Chains A and B, each alone.
Chain A
Amino acid sequence: METKTTDEEEVKEAVKLEASEIEYVSYGGEHHLPLIMALVDSELSEPYSIFTYRYFVYLWPQLSFLAFHGGKCVGTVVCKMGEHRNTFRGYIAMLVVIKPYRGRGIATELVTRSIQVMMESGCEEVTLEAEVTNKGALALYGRLGFVRAKRLFRYYLNGVDAFRLKLLFPSPLLHPSLAMVADKDDGNWHNDHIPIEECSEVH
C-alpha cells in the first residue's frame, strides 16, 4: 500500500485507553462501508473507487474487520483470498489505524484476525505489498512472520520501491521440493497499490 508521508512525531497527542475498550467487529454490511472508506481515504494516498471497496467487502466480508473505540471507528483491515497460480492465497489489501490510536496493537489485532480466518479457510500463504520506507508496517508484519520475498522496482507512482511480503503457513504436507509458488513474472501496474496479478483473477 502506498501511504501518505506523515511525520510520525506529530502522533504523540495520543489517547489514553485500555486495550479492553477497543471493540473489534467483522464487516457487517453497507453501513460499515463509509467508515472504512473514510479511514482508508484519510491515510492512504491513492484513492480507491467505491467499486474497489465493494469488491472486497462483498466477496470476502469475513476477512474485513473494524476496530471501534466508544462508537468511533479507529482502524480497519480489508482483504481477499483466492486461487493464485495453484496456490490458495490470502491477500491484505488495506490496513489503517488512525494516528491517535497507533502503537497500541490495534493493527496487529486486526490483521491477526484476518489471517486467522484465512488460515482456517485453507489458505497456504498470505501476501501483501508495502512501501520500502514504511518502517511501521514492515516491523508489524515482520513480527507476524512475514518474509520480504522480493523487491518491486519503482512499484508506486511516486517512484518508491515496494516489498512483496509473504507469510507461509506451516503445512504437514509441505516438502521443500514440492513447495508452491510457481512464480511467473510479476505484473506491475505502476498506477496503483494492488498489483495487477491480484486484480486479474476471475471470480
Chain B
Amino acid sequence: MEAKPPPAAADEASTAVPDGRSSTIPSGENTVWVDVSLLLDAACRDLEDGELIHGDNFNLFAAMSALEIMDPKMDSGMVCKYYSVDEAIENGAAPVPISSDKTVDVRCTIDIMDHLLACEATWHKGHSVSQTVFSCIYLLRTDRTSSHVLLHSYCRIIRATCKAVISVVSDARTHEEEDLFTMSYGLPLSGDGDDKCLSVLNAVEETICRQLRACKAPSSRRKVLEDIEPLQTNLALEEGYCKALLCRLRFRKHFYHVLTCLRRPQGRGLELARKHIASCISELECILSSSEFLRTSASGACEDGLEDKTTASGCQPVGFDANLNSRLSAPTPPRAIQILSWNEAVKYFMRLLHDLDVLCSYSLDSSLESVLHFVVQFQKSQPDLVARAHLQLLLVQDGKLHGRDPVFAVITRAAALPEATRNHDIQKNEFIVQLGQLVINLLKILCTNSAWQRRKLGKIIQDWRVIYLQLEMAFKECGENSNVSNEENSIVKIFQHILVWVEEQTYWIASRFLILGFELELYSPNEYCMVYWYLYVALVKLAEKTHLKMAVTNGAGKRRGKKKRDTPKDVAKDYRIPPAVLFLQCQICLAEGLTMMLAALRNEHGILETRSPFNTEYERFIQHFELLQKASIPDHVSYPSFKESTTYARFSNILMYNYFKDAQRIVKEVKSSFSNEPDKLAELRRLEQVAEHNSIALNVISRVGTLDPSLKVSFEFNHHPYFATAVVKRS
C-alpha cells in the first residue's frame, strides 16, 4: 500500500472522521485553518486503482474494522427504528400500562418476563448485557413503570439480579476471555431503593396469592372476598394467569436469594442457598408447565408456536429494542444477536441451578488435596461462567482458602507437616510468601474454562519450577548454617517437606495440563503415542513424589522413596504402598500400555504414521510439550528419550509385560480402600474397563495382525475421557 500523505488530508480520507470536529476549533499559535479541497481533488486524480491514503497507524486491525457502508453483510446498520430511548417511548414502543384491556395487559406482562429470562440466559452465555437484558425499554426507564406494580417489581428484581451477577463475575475475575460479560457502561444498573426490591416483590406476590384464592373459592364464599379486585377481567383465565405469574415472581425471588446466600463469607450461606435452589427448580418446573395454558389462551394473538420463540406463549414481547444500546454494546461494531429461545433459557437456568447445587454440597474441606479433587470433579460437567465465578469466590476469599484458612496453614497441611508448624515464623520467608500466592493463583485458574485454564496452567508450571529452585537454595543455606540446634532442625524439616510437596504439586499441574488437552481435543490420533508417553513420565514422577511425601511423614522411608522407581509389578505387590499411590500406578500402567501399543502399531503395521512435507515428529513434539520442556518437567526428558523408549516396541514384548493386566490387578487390589469415595470408585471402574478392552484388543492384534494386513485400529474415548480404547476391525 502506498501512502500519499498530504498530512492534513489523511484523516479526512479515512472512513472514520471523529465526530464533533468542526471549524469552531480555534487555530493554535503556529497553526491556521486552510481549505484543502483543491489539494484533495488533486490527490484523488493522482490515485491509481487500489491505492489508499492512510496514516502511519493503518494496519490490519484498522483495515478489518472498516465497514463498507451499505454492504448488507457488513453494515448491520445504525439505522434503527428509534434513535433514543425517549424517542422509542414517545412513539409508544413501551406503553404503561401495556394495554388498557387488563387481560391483554397481564398476558403481555408475562411475555415480557419470559423474554427477559431468555435475554438473561443469552447474556450469561456470552453476549453483552446491553444487547440482551437491557434491550428492555421498561428496564431502561424503571421510574415510568411505578404505576404498574407488577412490571415494576419484576424490572427491579431483574436489575438487582444483574447487578449481583456482574459483581460475582467481576470479583472473581475469572472472566477469562469473557470480558464482554461485565461490560455495562452507561446502563442504569443501580436504581434507588433496589435494596427494597424484595419487599416490593413480596407484596405483589401476596396480592396475587389472594387473587388466586379468591377466584378458586366457591361462589358462596365469593362475597366475603369481594373487596379483592381480580387480576384481570376474564374470569375463565384468572386462575391460569395468577399461577403463571406467581411461579415467575417466586422464581426471581428465590434466585436472588440464592445469589446473596452464596456470597456469604466462608460458605456460611450454602445450606440456605440449597433450599432456595430447590425452590427455584420447582418454580421453574411450574413455569414450564404454565406454557400450555399461556399458548392456548394467547392463540389467535400470535403466530403458531415455533421452537425458537422467546416466550412461553409464543408471542412477540412488547417493549424491547436491541438496537437502542447497540452503540454501548462492545468495542466492536454492532451486530444483531440471536436471543436464546425460551425453552433453551429454561434449560440453561436448570443447569445453572444444578451446578450451584453441586457447589453448595461442598464441605469446605481444608485439605488442598480434596479441594483440588472437588474442583476437577466440578469442572467435568463444563459449567458456565456464573457457576465458575461462584466456585472461585467460595474457594478464595481475602487471600485465604474459603476465606478462613491461611495459605500457609494449607501448605503445611498439604506438605504433611505437623499441625503446630502453621504458626512457624518461616511463613514470613519471601519464597514461602510467593509460594502462597502461587497456590491462590492455581486455585483461581482451576475455576476458569478449560481452554483458558490449560493455557494458564502451561504458563504457571514455569513459576512452580522456579519457586522450587529458590526454596531449594534457601534450604541449602539454612542447612549449612545450622548447628543442629533444635529450632534450626525444625526449619530444615519444614523445608524438606515443602520441597517434596512443591514437586508433587508441580507434577500434578503438568498432568492436568496434559489431560486437559484431551478434553479440548488438541491431540490428533497420530500424536497419541507421544502424549501418552509424556503423561506416563509425568505420572511416574507424580506417584514418586506422592509416595515420598507419605513416606517422609511416616518417618520410615526417607531413603526408600528416593531410590529409583520400582516397576509397577514390584510396587503393586508391596502392601505398604498407600492407596493414593496405587491409584496413580494404575493410570501409569494404562498410559504406558497405550504408549507401547501405539508405538507397536506404528512400528509393525505402519498405522497412525504421518509424514508431513514440512516438518517431522520432532517439531510436533516440541510444539506440544515445549512449556513442560522449558520448565524441565520432568528433568532429563526430551524427544530422544521418547524415541528411545518407543522405537523398539513390538507386540510380542507388550504381551509379555502386559501393562493392561497389571492395571486390572491393581484396580482389584485397591478398590476396597476407596469404598467411601464414590467418585474415586467410579474412576477406578472406568480405568478397569479401559484396561480390559485394551487387553483384549492387544490379543486380537497380535494374533491376527501379521496375517491380516487389512486390520484397522482406531482409538475411542467411550470408557474414559482421556484413556483411549483400541477398536479393532477387519475390513
A residues with a Cβ closer than 8 A to B are: 30, 33, 41, 47-52, 54-55, 58-59, 80, 112, 115, 119, 132, 142-145, 147-154, 157, 159, 161, 163, 166-170, 174, 176-177, 179, 181, 183, 186, 188-192, 194, 196, 198-203
Contact = CB atoms under 8 A, between A and B. Distances in A.
A55 to B, nearest CB: 4
A186 to B, nearest CB: 8
**Interface-centre pick from B49, B178, B450, B622 (highest chain A CB count, 10 A):** B622
A145 B59 contact: no
A-B residue pairs, 8 tightest by C-beta? A145-B612, A199-B61, A47-B73, A51-B63, A199-B60, A191-B332, A153-B451, A151-B451
Contacts of A47: 68, 71, 73-74
B73 A148 contact: no
B455 interface: yes
Contacts of A181: 626
Given A151-B520, A188-B177, A50 B613 contact: no
Contact of B615 (A161, A167, A177): A167
B67 interface: yes
B460 to A, nearest CB: 13
A110 B616 CA distance: 21
Contacts of A200: 59-61
B22 interface: no
Contact of A148 (B332, B459, B523, B615): B523
Contacts of B126: 154, 159
Contacts of A176: 622, 626, 629-630, 638-639
A145 B613 contact: yes
Interface of B is mostly: loop
Contacts, number: 150
A201 to B, nearest CB: 6
Contacts of A147: 527, 620, 623-624
Contact of B629 (A159, A166, A167, A177): A177
A93 to B, nearest CB: 9
Interface string B328-348: 001011010000000000000
Interface residues of B, number: 57
B524 interface: yes
Given A168-B619, A202-B59, A148 B524 contact: yes
Given A170-B615, A174-B622, A179-B630, A150 B522 contact: yes
Given A47-B74, A200-B61, A54 B522 contact: no
Contacts of A170: 615-616, 618-619
A201 B59 contact: yes
25 contacts: A47-B71, A47-B74, A49-B64, A51-B63, A54-B1, A55-B60, A132-B521, A143-B610, A144-B612, A145-B613, A145-B620, A148-B521, A148-B523, A150-B520, A151-B522, A153-B178, A154-B177, A169-B619, A176-B629, A176-B638, A177-B630, A188-B177, A196-B61, A200-B59, A201-B60
Contacts of B454: 150-151
Contacts of B178: 153-154
B303 to A, nearest CB: 26
Contact of A159 (B68, B125, B527): B125
Contacts of B459: 183
A198 B619 contact: no
Contacts of A198: 60
A51 B52 contact: yes
Contacts of A54: 1, 50, 52, 63
A24 B653 CA distance: 50
Contacts of B71: 47
B176 interface: yes
A186 B451 CA distance: 11
A187 B532 CA distance: 31
Contacts of B523: 148
Contact of B64 (A33, A142, A150, A192): A192
Contacts of B527: 147
B521 A51 contact: no
Contact of B449 (A41, A149, A153, A167): A153
A159 B335 CA distance: 13
Interface in B80-135: 125-126
B622 A150 contact: no
Interface string B192-232: 00000000000000000000000000000000000000000
Given A30-B49, A51-B63, A52-B60, A190 B614 contact: no
A112 B613 contact: yes
Interface string B237-252: 0000000000000000
Nearest to B50: A30
Contacts of A148: 521-524
B182 to A, nearest CB: 15
Contact of A145 (B64, B180, B333, B614): B614
Given A47-B74, A145-B613, A150-B454, A179 B622 contact: yes
A177 B627 CA distance: 9
Contact of B1 (A58, A115, A202): A58
B475 interface: no
Given A132-B521, A151-B451, A188-B177, A55 B612 contact: no
Contacts of B180: 190
Contact of B59 (A50, A163, A167, A199): A199
B57 interface: yes
Contact of B623 (A159, A163, A168, A189): A168
Contact of B66 (A51, A145, A190): A51
A52 B68 CA distance: 11
A153 B177 contact: yes
Given A166-B623, A179-B630, A49 B66 contact: yes
Contacts of B64: 48-49, 51-52, 192, 194, 199
Nearest to B527: A147
Given A49-B67, A55-B60, A144 B613 contact: yes
